[in-house]
Every structure is written in C-alpha cells, then in structure tokens.
C-alpha cells in the first residue's frame, strides 16, 4: 500500500506538530505517530520553556548560562540564534491559544531552574507540555492539509539503499524518499512517500532501567537515521534528572526542577542539606552536578534515595506552584508540605542524536530532524533546564522554512519497492523480546550511568554486542512487530551511547569517567559516528 504526501512528519510531539503547522501552508502533510497522538515526551514536560522575557534579563545571560552548562561543546552561533528566537516562539504558542501561568500583575510568570542566572522559565502550572501538546494537536487536527495517522510505527527511512544502490555514511550522496511504516492495527507495512521528511521522534530514555520518559521514548529516530547512514553525534551525553520520585508504585515520576527553583532543598537521610558541599550554586547547580552529588551521597552512605524538602514552604504556595506534582505525591500518601519527598536520579534526556546544521538539515538530503532526536549544537555536553522545548520549537520552524523551499525542486520517487517480508513468520517467542529488553536496560543502568569507567563501558559493549547478534538473528526470521523493532532500535542506540562514551577519554558535562576525571582541552570536539 502506498501513501503520498509533500511532507512526512514522524512524531507528534512539539517538534513534529509545530513543523507540520508551518509547512501545511505549502503542501500536504502526513504525521505518523506510533501510539495516540498526544503520547510524547512533550506531553509530560513539567517545568516550562526557557525564554528571555523579563526586562532585567538579557539574551546574553541566557546564552552564557547555556554555554556554561554545555561545558565547552555548545555551538555559540546556534545557541544565540535559538535564544533570540525564544520570545517569538512563545508569542506564536500564545496566538495558537496556549494558556501560560500569569503573575499577580497579569504578566507571564517566570520561574528559575538549575543553571539559570535569572527567572526565565515560562510555564503552565507544572504541566507545561500538556498545554503545548493540547494547542498544537487541536490546530493540526483541524488543518485541511494535515492527516494524522495514529498507531503507525516508522520502521525504516527509504533511501537509495532500497533501490539496490550502495550507500555509505561519509562518501555517497543520499536522499530520503519517505519511510516504511507499520500500521499496527492492520499489521501491514506501508510505503509512505514524501518529498521531504522530518524526524521528530523524541528521546531514548527507555534504554535505561529507570527513566522519566514514557514508553514511546525508545530512540527509534536515531536508530533509523543511523541505519540509513546519517551522521549521528554526541551520544555519550545522557542527562539524568536529579529528582525522580522513589516509590514502588510510581517509578521515576518527575519532580520538576521548579521545585528547587521555588526553594526546595536536597537532604540526605541524616537530614543534611548536602548540595553546598558540591557547588556554590547549591541546589540550583546544573543537573549534571546535582545528579552526580546525589549519586555520591547514595554511594557514600549506602542509601537508596535522598530527600527533596519543601516542608519549610507554605502549603498553599506548593499547591499553587506545583499542583500536579503535589496531587501525585498526595495520592501516594506524601504530603509535600509535611513530608520530605524521596527522590533519585533517572535517565531524562539525550543531548546527542541525529546531527543537523543550524537549519535542521541532516546529512541525508530531504531528511530534516528537530527536537530531542536531533543534535543541533545547542546543548553541548549538558542541556540547560527547559532549553529542550525551546530547541524543539525553534528547529521545527527552521526545518520548515528549509523544507518548504526544498520540495519546490523535488518530485515523488515512484520506483520504491514494497516492503519485503519473505521468509519471515509470526513470533510466539515474546519472552525473548521482553527478557532482552530488560537485560539491555539493566546493563545501561549499571554500566553506562551517571558515573562511568573503562571497565564498565567495555563490559557494557560486550553484553550489548551479544544482544545485538541475538536480536538481529531473530529479526530476519520474524514478521515485524513494534516490540521487536523497538528493541532493535534500543540496542542500536545503546551501542551508539557506549561507543561514543568509550571514545571520550575525559570527563565533560554529563559524561563522567572515573579513569579520566578531568576535562581535556584537546578533546573539545563533537563525537561523530
């Protein structure tokens, strides 16, 4: 079966939807998304969007904070462009109907998060992502040029490789003609042809045993792009959010950094506020520092969690500032105004991804990438809090401008073969998939986490290679299904993370190696795979 659009968008989070709304003015758009359209990392974003709106703040300060957090690897031109575009992005969301929280004076309410020198996070209570997803989906759903295909899973990007031509990562020119997509209701693989394709598949938190990310975050976009021989970079920089809830009934529910922005204090089990021992910014130090400090406290004291203490704040303020988080904790018998909240770090964000230039173009023609799947150069070795929604919106816009121009000179490729599933059978061995997935997540958590070493990385590499061989053997014999494709993608992403981490023989930003605890000036460069 064939579907044809001018623009194919893979993913219905903030990046995919905002790109779709822009390009829909110039052509037909197909958005494919693997579950319900709202299911995305975007939908769970809590804290907000970092943007300079206060008269005493400045673009320069936001740029500087971003560069400091990024530990030498941000691209200053990209950072400056993104920061300067922020106010326009917010204006556009408000025009679309987004209802952000206001101060008593009726202005947008701004909070502070770790690594920011000023209050500059605009938010919709503590459910900012839900509000963004709501307005973007409502607009996209009404647009006559946009078709949203839910429960459609992108399996492979179509390039010259599918026409029997040899494609290499660094030498050959490559073009993207669309994607092979599994309709999970009919279980049929369709060809979706497009003149331009946007990868907006989000993050990969599910590669780790504990993650704040929802189940969709399996790194499919990075894996597909890598298989299609696109350039991928900086995959070693995995951000662990310092404060995810430690509770058996709610693994890794995020307790927003805004909680510390409002005055929350991290304490160890003895009650000591420990962050000042690690950084002069104490609880508002950038995330890499806070997550490592917690890890150190847990190891030093043999504890399984630390606490986030808001009990010195007024109950009505906590409820006003963090209504969703307060409600969630209360449902687990934790009253944040009375009880300290048990927290641990969890995998949260991937700074690396599919390499793009400042206009969202990848190394494959006709393939653009925006949002968490991309590595644009804004985050460097460590993302500053609330800069990722900003990045998703800004790069969706830049990609849209380029893609609208690009399709002027392109027609659909008509000679793409159907998906070939000859020699494959339906599987009954679901246990192989679920077991291998758990094994992978455990390996990544234990050996490729907040603190790394050569020994652990080598061990992870060997284990992952074995999983790769097993799963590829299984894949070539089996009719495609989502759990198997996701596992295959997660293994590819794990391989990219481990290989990049093994290449970087220093400690920088989110990548901390016990064997090389210092930054090395000669290593200020991206890891390219």
Binding interface with ligand FAD (CB under 6 A): 10-16, 32-35, 39-42, 44-49, 128-129, 153-154, 200-203, 212-213, 216, 220, 254, 349, 371-373, 386-389, 392
Q: Which does 372 bind (CB under 5 to 8 A by kind): ligand FAD, ligand SIN, none?
A: ligand FAD
Q: Helix (H, G, I), strand (E, B), or coil: what is residue 487?
A: helix
Nearer to ligand SIN, 256 or 507 (CB): 256
**DSSP for residue 74:** S
Select from ligand SIN, ligand FAD, none the partner in contact with residue 494, using the beta carbon and a kind-dependent cut-off of 5 to 8 Å: none
Q: Shortest Cβ distance from residue 324 to ligand FAD (Å)? A: 11
Among residues 113, 196, 174, the alpha carbon closest in space to that of 396 is found at 196
Spatial distance between the Cα atoms of 456 and 277, rounded to a whole number of angstroms? 28
- Cα–Cα distance for residue pair 416/380, rounded to 1 Å: 38
Among ligand FAD, ligand SIN, none, residue 33 binds (CB under 5-8 Å by kind): ligand FAD
Check if the beta carbon of residue 455 is closer than 8 Å to that of residue 502: no
CA atoms within 13 A on the CB side of 318: 26
Residues 3, 30 contacting (CB under 8 angstroms): yes
CB of residue 241 vs ligand FAD: minimum separation in angstroms? 8
Tell me which of ligand SIN, ligand FAD, none is bound by residue 85, counting a contact when its beta carbon lies within the kind-specific cut-off of 5 to 8 angstroms.
Answer: none
How is 119-174 classified by DSSP, letter by letter? --EE-STT-HHHHHHHHHHHHHHH-TTEEEETTEEEEEEE-GGGGT----SSSS--
Rg (CA), the chain: 22
The residue with its CB nearest to ligand SIN is: 47
Distance in angstroms (rounded) separating the CA atoms of residues 63 and 150: 38
CA-to-CA distance for 374 and 260, rounded, in angstroms?
Answer: 28
Cα(503)–Cα(489) distance, integer angstroms: 21
To the nearest whole angstrom, how small is the minimum distance from the Cβ of residue 327 to ligand FAD?
15
Between CA 100 and CA 90 the distance in angstroms is 10
- Length of the chain as a residue count: 529
Q: What are the angstrom distances between the C-alpha of 454 and each of 308, 337, 457, 498, 503?
A: 32, 43, 5, 10, 10
**Smallest distance, ligand SIN to C-beta of residue 486, A:** 23
CB closer to ligand SIN out of 239 and 507:
239
Question: Is 309 within 8 Å of 265 (Cβ atoms)?
Answer: yes
Which among 80, 134, 260, 287 is annotated as catalytic?
Answer: 287
239 vs 363, beta carbon nearer ligand SIN: 239
* Cβ distance to ligand FAD smaller for residue 158 or 513: 158
Residue 200 or 313: the one with the smaller Cβ distance to ligand FAD is 200
Q: Judge contact between 450 and 291, C-beta under 8 A.
A: yes
Minimum Å gap between C-beta 164 and ligand FAD is 24
366's contact among ligand FAD, ligand SIN, none, with CB below 5 to 8 A by partner kind, is none
Min CB(474)–ligand FAD separation in Å: 19
Specify the residue, 44 or 447, whose C-beta has the smaller distance to ligand FAD.
44
Point out which residues bind ligand SIN (CB under 6 A).
46-47, 256-258, 385-386, 388
User: Does residue 459 have an active-site annotation?
Assistant: no
358/370 Cα distance (integer angstroms): 10
Phi, psi of 30 (to 5 degrees): -110, 120
Contacted by 35, from ligand SIN, ligand FAD, none: CB < 5 to 8 Å by type: ligand FAD
Q: Which is nearer to ligand FAD, 148 or 457 (CB)?
A: 148
CB 431 → ligand SIN: shortest distance, Å? 34
Which residues have a catalytic role annotated? 287
């Amino acid at each position: 079966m064939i579907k044809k659009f001018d623009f194919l968008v893979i993913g219905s989070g903030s990046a995919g939807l905002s790109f779709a709304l822009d390009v829909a003015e110039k052509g037909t758009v197909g958005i494919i998304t693997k579950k319900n359209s709202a299911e995305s990392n975007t939908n769970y974003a809590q804290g907000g969007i970092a943007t300079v709106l206060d008269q005493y703040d400045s673009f320069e300060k936001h740029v500087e904070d971003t560069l400091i957090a990024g530990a030498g690897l941000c691209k200053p031109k990209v950072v400056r462009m993104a920061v300067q575009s922020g106010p326009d992005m917010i204006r556009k969301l408000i025009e679309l109907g987004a209802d952000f929280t206001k101060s008593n004076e009726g202005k947008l309410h701004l909070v502070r998060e770790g690594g920011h020198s000023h209050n500059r996070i605009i938010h919709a209570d503590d459910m900012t992502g839900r509000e963004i997803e709501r307005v973007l989906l409502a607009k996209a759903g009404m647009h006559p040029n946009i078709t949203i295909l839910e429960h459609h899973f992108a399996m492979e990007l179509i390039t010259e490789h599918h026409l029997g031509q040899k494609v290499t990562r660094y030498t050959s020119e490559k073009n993207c003609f669309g994607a092979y997509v599994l309709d999970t209701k009919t279980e049929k693989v369709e060809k979706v042809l497009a003149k331009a394709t946007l990868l907006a598949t989000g993050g990969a938190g599910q590669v780790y045993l504990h993650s704040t990310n929802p189940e969709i975050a399996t790194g499919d976009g990075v894996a597909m792009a890598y298989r299609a021989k696109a350039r991928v970079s900086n995959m070693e920089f995995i951000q662990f959010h310092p404060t995810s809830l430690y509770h058996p009934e709610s693994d890794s529910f995020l307790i927003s950094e805004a909680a510390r922005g409002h005055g929350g204090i991290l304490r160890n089990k003895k009650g000591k506020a420990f962050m000042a021992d690690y950084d002069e910014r104490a609880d508002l130090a950038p995330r890499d520092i806070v997550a490592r400090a917690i890890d150190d406290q847990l190891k030093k004291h043999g504890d399984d969690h630390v606490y986030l203490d808001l009990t010195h704040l007024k109950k009505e303020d906590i409820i006003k500032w963090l209504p969703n988080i307060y409600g969630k904790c209360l449902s687990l018998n934790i009253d944040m105004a009375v009880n300290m909240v048990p927290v641990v770090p969890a995998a949260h964000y991937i700074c690396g991804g599919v390499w793009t230039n400042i206009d969202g173009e990848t190394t494959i023609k006709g393939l653009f990438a925006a949002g968490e799947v991309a590595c644009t150069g804004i985050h460097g070795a460590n993302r500053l809090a609330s800069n990722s929604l900003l990045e998703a919106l800004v790069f969706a816009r830049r990609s849209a401008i380029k893609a609208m121009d690009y399709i002027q000179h392109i027609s659909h490729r008509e000679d793409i073969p159907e998906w070939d599933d000859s020699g494959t059978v339906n599987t009954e061995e679901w246990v192989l998939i679920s077991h291998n997935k758990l094994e992978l997540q455990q390996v990544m958590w234990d050996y490729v986490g907040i603190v790394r070493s050569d020994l652990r990385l080598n061990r992870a590499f060997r284990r992952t290679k074995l999983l790769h061989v097993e799963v590829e053997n299984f894949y070539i014999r089996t009719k495609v299904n989502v759990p198997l494709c996701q596992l295959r993608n997660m293994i590819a992403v794990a391989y990219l993370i481990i290989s990049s981490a093994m290449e970087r023989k220093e400690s920088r930003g989110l990548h901390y190696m016990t064997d090389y605890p210092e930054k090395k000036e000669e290593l200020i460069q991206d890891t390219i795979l």
